């Protein structure tokens, strides 16, 4: 098992470690119905490139996406939130939210992440740059069976 930096370990919810110990490879959220591929500790540390932003480890990939959105002229949502890291569903990803997030799963390029502090669970939709809240905590997501492989008879 990959040894995660102490700062990252402290930011990860206990449910993530339970999933890893149990060998949970996929989870489903009940809002979108998507089955998310849980990133292993090694995958969290893999480098991700989102041009023109500099490479980031996968768990910090939202930072690269926020920089890319700004570079192409997509402005983050600046509503009168309680704080810059208290987003709402439909907001465009902001650098503040990206910095306060940890990506834990992905599916077809969409990213599932948790916010520091309350550990609420969100989805980042790269195609539109927006985010959506899908759960109050990781424990609300349910383990999902991995896709089965068809066999010839």
Query: Confidence class of residue 10 from pLDDT cuts 50, 70 and 90?
Result: very high
CA pair distance 37, 3, nearest whole angstrom: 20
Question: Residue 81 pLDDT > 90, yes or no?
Answer: no
User: For residues 129 and 23, what is the distance between their CA atoms, to the nearest angstrom?
Assistant: 31
Higher pLDDT, 141 or 2: 141
Tell me how many domains the chain contains.
Answer: 1
What does the pLDDT read at residue 72? Answer: 85
Contact yes or no for 123/110 (Cβ under 8 A): yes
Residue 117: inside a domain, yes or no? yes
Domain residues for the domain of 56 are 6-142
Question: Residue 51 domain-assigned?
Answer: yes
114/6 Cα distance (integer angstroms): 17
pLDDT tens string 33-78: 999 999 999 999 999 998 888 899 999 999 999 999 988 888 777 6
Asked if 63 and 56 count as a contact pair (C-beta separation under 8 A), the reply is yes
In angstroms, what CA-CA distances link 9 with 4, 13, 16, 68, 150? 6, 8, 10, 27, 37
The residue with greater pLDDT, 3 or 150, is: 3
Cβ neighbours, 10 Å, residue 59: 24
Residue 89 within any structural domain of the chain: yes
Any domain includes 65 = yes
- The pLDDT score that the predictor gives to residue 149 is 47
Domain assignment present for residue 118? The answer is: yes
pLDDT digits (tens, 9 = 90+) for 106-133: 999 999 999 998 899 999 999 989 999 9
State the pLDDT at residue 150: 45
149 found inside a domain: no
Asked if residue 66 is part of any domain, the answer here is yes
Percent of the chain with pLDDT strictly greater than 90: 63
- Of 124, 135, 147, 149, the C-alpha closest to 26 is 147
Q: Is the pLDDT of residue 80 over 60?
A: no
Q: Considering the domain boundaries, does residue 1 fall inside one? A: no
């Amino acid at each position: 098992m990959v040894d995660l930096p102490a700062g990252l370990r402290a930011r990860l919810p206990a449910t993530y470690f339970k999933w890893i110990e149990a060998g949970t490879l996929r989870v489903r959220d009940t809002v979108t119905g998507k089955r998310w591929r849980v990133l292993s500790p090694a995958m969290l540390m893999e480098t991700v490139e989102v041009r023109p932003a500099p490479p980031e480890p996968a768990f910090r990939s939202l930072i690269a996406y926020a920089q890319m959105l700004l570079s192409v002229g997509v402005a983050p949502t600046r509503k009168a939130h309680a704080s810059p890291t208290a987003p709402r569903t439909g907001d465009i990803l902001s650098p503040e939210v990206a910095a306060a997030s940890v990506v834990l799963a992905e599916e077809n390029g969409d990213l599932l992440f948790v916010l520091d502090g309350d550990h609420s669970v969100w989805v980042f939709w790269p195609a539109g740059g927006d985010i959506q809240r899908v759960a109050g905590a990781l424990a609300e997501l349910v383990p999902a069976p991995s896709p089965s492989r068809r066999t010839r008879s």
